[in-house]
Structure 1
Amino acid sequence: MVSHRRTSQHAQTTLAGVTVVSAALATAAAALSAPPAAADPAGNPSTGRAAATARVDSLYVQAERATEKYNAAQARTKELRHEVAALQDRTARAQERVNRMRGHLGALAAAQYRSGGIDPTVRLMLSERPDTFLEKASALDRLGHRQADELHGLRTAQRRLEQQRAETVRKLTELEAGRKAVARHKKDVQRKLATARRLLNALPKRDRAAYERASRSDGHREAAPDLRGAAPSSGRAAAAVAAVRAAVGSPYAWGSSGPTSFDCSGLTQWAYGRAGVSLPRTSQAQRGAGRQVPLSQARPGDLVIYRSDASHVGMYVGNGQVVHAPYPGARVRYDPVGMMPISSVTRP
């Protein structure tokens, strides 16, 4: 079976363990292009069931990768909404300033009209594009210092307004693209999970129950591993470890970051949030959210990033154990740190 299958609670990280998991992942990936379980050419039911469960595991891995893409798109969309709102506010204030400046120049024009007509330089001030006239040095010679300063201010304000409008349009375009990406990744996750569920439902009841027991154990049904003697790297790390251990037994829910359900990066983000530390939303971004340390030097609170694409993350809690949110249907639980290939270890 593949990376998320339940292993011995007190197993240690070994090269052999990582090799076995890697081989299982390769087997599951190959199963995606294989015939359905019922089409086993040898007619061997056990072989067909093994292929089906391997494919289910591979689909869960793919769904988790799609979930992290969904999380990234969601996080970026949220950022863009704030940026657009700020830009729209600044643009409105800039427009008000331009309007006030033009109103002041209008009052000047009215005064000049009452005194005998509007000078060409005043028409310049009231025109929609005063910068075209400003480029002519002769115009500046006919303006008083105060008038020139006002005109330069208007010109600067109008340019800033145009830039902010253009930036708002660009951000709105990016926001719309982000919304489409969120919807696309959401459909991808749902499609893979639905396929996995259909495969599981097609298994005989006894085999389906065995799969559920083997791969989706409840973290509360087993005694917590002995973590004595493992010192966190900081007080914040200790608080994060306490939070993540309190979450053991909570259900996995893709796209969720607590407080009652989690996906993998949502769990670590939430736990560190309880410690007053802001982590990025995705496992890929969390990989770069601190200092990289060797696995041999891992301390409680460190983030263990899995797979070459950093699509899974757990929190090291000491004694060769991590706490993580495995995948749909599972609960937050303890597992050996070497349960799947490790990409890096990050200390926030």
Structure 2
Amino acid sequence: MAAHRKPRQRKLAGPATRFSALALAGAATATATAFEGSAQAEPHLTADEVRAKADRLYEEAERSTEQYNGAKEKADAARTTVDELRDEAARRTERLNASRNDLGSFATAQYRAGGIDPAVQLALVSDPAGYLAGAELAERVGARQTTTISRIRHQLREIAQVRAEASELLAELAEQQAELDRHRTVIRKKLAAAQSLLARLTSEQRAAYRAGDGAAVARADRDTTRPDTSAPRVPAPNSRASQAVDYAYAALGKPYVWGATGPSAYDCSGLTQAAWRSAGVSLPRTTYTQINAGRSVSRSQLAPGDLVFFYSGISHVGLYIGGGRMIHAPRPGAPVRIASIDDMPYAGATRIA
């Protein structure tokens, strides 16, 4: 399939967007460093305080993960476009070479037949009428070669334009890759800080933390009532939503891996994207874009298949399954599971289909 140059809006991000992303990454790095220092400077934290700080670090790591996902999506798209531009430049170069070969053949023929005045040639030929007919053909061929030369010049300009656009896009891709590296560093720092905090807990407390849902662990210590995975399933409103819910159920127990979209592991938005993809619906990659992918619904109107979002920064998402429950990928070390939508600060919901 022929590649076509795309409009200028193909740029990865404007200066304001890049500045915002850098500022967020810088702030996140500072926060992670502060927490690491805090973990060392506060030796007498209670178990609840440790878990609360770990929850906050995991939340911030997930926010950085969603920023990483967004940057990766743009970088992947840019990389694909660069490849398309390179292919297009190669195809145009082939056509240019063909035009040059045609012109070269004509020039060679002219050189071999040149050097004799046309009047002398007319006098020497045995068939003047035939010669004159041939001369008329040569004039037509000359006009065709003029067109070929114009086409070559046009092809050269087009190739230069395609190569310039690819070069510009490569520079932006390098910036995008640097942003990916920054988000990756922030995520790793936050996860390491959370693990350092959790290392203070007893093995039983860590097991309880892994079995719970972050901020809900403190409640779980006092109230052992957790979302029942064997509770009757609530019917979905349509076949697509039903397929998405079925996919999420099949993913239960699979690990959380930041940046993963399945089928062996997921992050939160990767799970919801994969669930709806199985139903034939393409969702954006990140939480902050998925929330705008459908129709906003109130909490009282939730139905199985709806996307439910959490935290003020829209940094976490789950797939609603009814009865106040969702299936989500919580955090590193916590597999895909069923949880109450009350376990985290609720931010809104979107109905996809």
TM-score by length of 2: 0.72
Judged with a 3 Å threshold, the aligned counterparts in structure 2 of structure 1 residues 173 and 101 are, in CA distance, closer, same or farther, namely: same
One-letter code of the match for 1:198? S
1:178 to 176, 179, 192: 176
Q: CA offset at residue 52 of structure 1?
A: 2.4
Q: Aligned-residue CA RMSD in angstroms?
A: 2.9
Contact 1:32–1:58 (CA under 8 A) maintained in structure 2: no
Q: Say whether 1:249 aligns with 2:249.
A: no
Q: Say whether 1:223 aligns with 2:229.
A: yes
Judged with a 3 Å threshold, the aligned counterparts in structure 2 of structure 1 residues 336 and 49 are, in CA distance, closer, same or farther, namely: closer
Bigger radius of gyration among the two: 2
- Which residue of 2 is the match for residue 72 of structure 1? 70
- Which residue of 1 is the match for residue 327 of structure 2? 323
Q: CA offset at residue 326 of structure 1?
A: 0.8
SS in 2 for 1:334: strand
Higher relative contact order (CA 8 A, sep 6+): 1
1:203 to 197, 201, 204: 201
d(CA) in 1 for partners of 2:201 and 2:97?
71
d(CA) in 2 for partners of 1:231 and 1:210?
32
SS in 1 for 2:317: strand
2:306 to 293, 296, 302: 302
d(CA) in 2 for partners of 1:34 and 1:88?
48
What runs of 5+ residues in structure 1 fail to find an aligned partner? 1-27, 118-142
d(CA) in 1 for partners of 2:170 and 2:40?
47
Q: Say whether 1:333 aligns with 2:333.
A: no
d(CA) in 2 for partners of 1:215 and 1:288?
26
Per-residue CA shift, 1:291-338, capped at 9, x if unaligned? 333333222111112223221111111222211111111121222234
d(CA) in 2 for partners of 1:328 and 1:206?
18
- Which residue of 1 is the match for residue 281 of structure 2? 277
2:54 to 48, 56, 59: 56
d(CA) in 2 for partners of 1:37 and 1:277?
47
Q: CA offset at residue 262 of structure 1?
A: 1.4
SS in 1 for 2:333: coil
One-letter code of the match for 1:84? V
Per-residue CA shift, 1:10-29, capped at 9, x if unaligned? xxxxxxxxxxxxxxxxxx99
- Which residue of 1 is the match for residue 131 of structure 2? none
- Which residue of 1 is the match for residue 7 of structure 2? none
TM-score by length of 1: 0.73
Percent identity for Structure 1 against Structure 2: 43
SS in 1 for 2:284: coil
Q: Say whether 1:188 aligns with 2:193.
A: no
Judged with a 3 Å threshold, the aligned counterparts in structure 2 of structure 1 residues 221 and 294 are, in CA distance, closer, same or farther, namely: closer
Q: Which moved more, 1:200-209 or 1:270-279?
A: 200-209
Task: Provide the aligned length of Structure 1 versus Structure 2.
Answer: 286
Contact 2:257–2:332 (CA under 8 A) maintained in structure 1: yes
Q: Which moved more, 1:88-97 or 1:65-74?
A: 65-74
SS in 1 for 2:320: strand
d(CA) in 1 for partners of 2:250 and 2:208?
28
Judged with a 3 Å threshold, the aligned counterparts in structure 2 of structure 1 residues 54 and 34 are, in CA distance, closer, same or farther, namely: farther
One-letter code of the match for 1:250? K
Judged with a 3 Å threshold, the aligned counterparts in structure 2 of structure 1 residues 170 and 148 are, in CA distance, closer, same or farther, namely: same
2:88 to 69, 83, 90: 90
Contact 1:38–1:48 (CA under 8 A) maintained in structure 2: no
d(CA) in 2 for partners of 1:208 and 1:317?
28
Judged with a 3 Å threshold, the aligned counterparts in structure 2 of structure 1 residues 293 and 208 are, in CA distance, closer, same or farther, namely: closer
What runs of 5+ residues in structure 2 fail to find an aligned partner? 1-30, 116-140, 218-225
d(CA) in 1 for partners of 2:342 and 2:92?
56
d(CA) in 2 for partners of 1:221 and 1:342?
17
